[in-house]
Amino acid sequence: MDNIKIEQRDRVVIVHLHRPEVLNALNTELMTELVDALRPLDRDPGVGCFVVTGSERAFAAGADIREMAPKSSVEMFTEDFFAGWDGFTALRTPKIAAVAGYALGGGCELAMMCDIIYAADTARFGQPEITLGVIPGIGGTQRLTRLVGKAKAMDMILTGRLIDAAEAERAGLVARVFPADRLLPEALAAAEKIAGYGKPAAMTAREAVDRAQEVSLREGLLFERRVFHALFATEDQAEGMRAFLDKRPAHFTGR
């Protein structure tokens, strides 16, 4: 793999986006490598969380403009350009984006495809596609609006302005902000914690939270109750509750 580096630490898989010469601009090759690498790990019961990160300077400065620039509308349409990112959003293992530096355009959209975004105090988020004569194309108009609301999304998407980590946290885009040198250790600590829980419960939790953004409250509550009931078929439920009553740490097996 030329465009990403994968590192596994116990139950956590760290993906480093690695195109330093173009600030980790996202091209088709990178997307394919990422999805192909993570798909089998997603099904691996020994993997409980993914952390996606970039460099100090850039998480990712957007889709690769050099790759996109010469394409015609018909090519974009017939190739269904960037539809491959659906393979990333389809991953069911919890995903954390650890963002330092620029997360622009497709970079901001990739972060928003993750379940949690942690940011370094150096992070800058933006959807500057309007400056290129286009609009966000892999979720920016939809996910950003759901996350930060219409007012802030319109402000960012129509002006193309960048927001810093503090503003992103206030707006609800980012869960927590850390000093740059603490970003990866803190993201890994959270990932290890998540990966230490039962994988079926973690997978179900993220699915249920995502429902809240898609369906009515009534449908969402019904979904939550049904999957809550279903988790009572797992050994992890029996173990988690028994461990509480025995006053000992639970040992989850993902079964």
Binding positions for ligand CO8, rule: CB under 6 A: 22-23, 25, 61-66, 81-82, 102, 104-106, 128-129, 132, 136-138
Phi, psi of 74 (to 5 degrees): -65, -40
Question: Is 151 designated active site?
Answer: no
Task: Using alpha carbons, select from 158, 71, 156 the residue that is nearest to residue 112.
Answer: 156
Q: What are residue 54's DSSP bridge partners?
A: none
Annotated active-site residue 123? The verdict is no
CB of 157 to ligand CO8, least distance (A): 11
Which residue among the candidates 106, 107, 126, 140 is catalytic per the annotation? 106
| 81 to 111, 134, 222, 234, 244: CA distances (angstroms) | 19, 14, 36, 40, 49
Q: Measured from the CB atom, is 22 or 227 closer to ligand CO8?
A: 22
The question of whether 190 is a catalytic residue gets the answer no
Examine the residue annotation and report whether 180 is marked as an active-site residue of this protein. Answer: no
Instruction: Name the minimum Å distance from CB 173 to ligand CO8.
Output: 16
C-alpha dihedral (225, 230, 232, 235), degrees to nearest 10 = -140
Nearer to ligand CO8, 50 or 85 (CB): 85
Q: Using CB atoms within 10 Å of the CB of residue 16, give its burial: 0 to 12 exposed, 13 to 18 middle, 19+ buried.
A: middle
- Residue 85 vs 197, nearer CB to ligand CO8: 85
**CA–centroid distance for 248 within its chain:** 33
Closer residue to ligand CO8, CB minimum distance, 15 or 104: 104
| Shortest Cβ 68–ligand CO8 spacing (Å) | 7
- Give the list of residues 6+ apart from residue 74 with CB closer than 8 angstroms, or none: none
Q: How far is the CB of 34 from ligand CO8 (least distance, A)?
A: 15
Please, what is the minimum distance in Å from the beta carbon of residue 138 to ligand CO8?
5
Burial code (b: 16+ CB inside 10 Å, e: under 16) for 157-180 equals beeeebbebebbbebebbeebbee
Q: Comparing C-alpha atoms, which of 124, 120, 123 is closest to residue 180?
A: 120
Choice between 104 and 123, CB closer to ligand CO8: 104
Q: Which of 63, 100, 123, 171 is catalytic?
A: 63
Cα–Cα distance for residue pair 126/115, rounded to 1 Å: 18
Residue of 54, 129, 169, 171 marked active site = 129
Catalytic site positions = 63, 106, 109, 129
